[in-house]
Amino acid sequence: MRTAQIFYNNQLAGYLSKGEGIYRFVYDKEYLTAAGRRPVSLTLPIREKPYESDILFPAFVNLLSEGANKAMQARMLKIDENDYFGLLLATASGDRIGPLTIKEVYGD
């Protein structure tokens, strides 16, 4: 299973993981009670119960490059173009437009 921390404006908001074809997003317990908290997406309202899906949540897919840029990134990073989770982990940890930053958790 691969897991990533999801940061909203540099505050840990939750965890995204993929295991056996299922994606799971869960909000961090401290974030659930933090003042001024915001959902990471309108499609993922704040709640305790984890979200599960057989496809990567659109809120995270939208962080990926498309078309020729996606093909170039996949080729340079040696990641299959259809491995959205792998591309997300490899490309969404740096400076981004928008409030979300993704950082892989190692040793999980």
Question: What is the Rg, in whole angstroms, of the alpha carbon atoms belonging to the chain?
Answer: 14
- The band of 95, judged by pLDDT with boundaries at 50, 70 and 90, is low
- The band of 16, judged by pLDDT with boundaries at 50, 70 and 90, is very high
Give the model's pLDDT for residue 66: 87
Pairing of strands 2-8, 11-19: antiparallel
Please give the mean pLDDT across all residues of the chain.
90
Helix, strand, coil abundance in the chain, percent, nearest 5: 25, 30, 45
pTM > 0.85: yes or no: yes
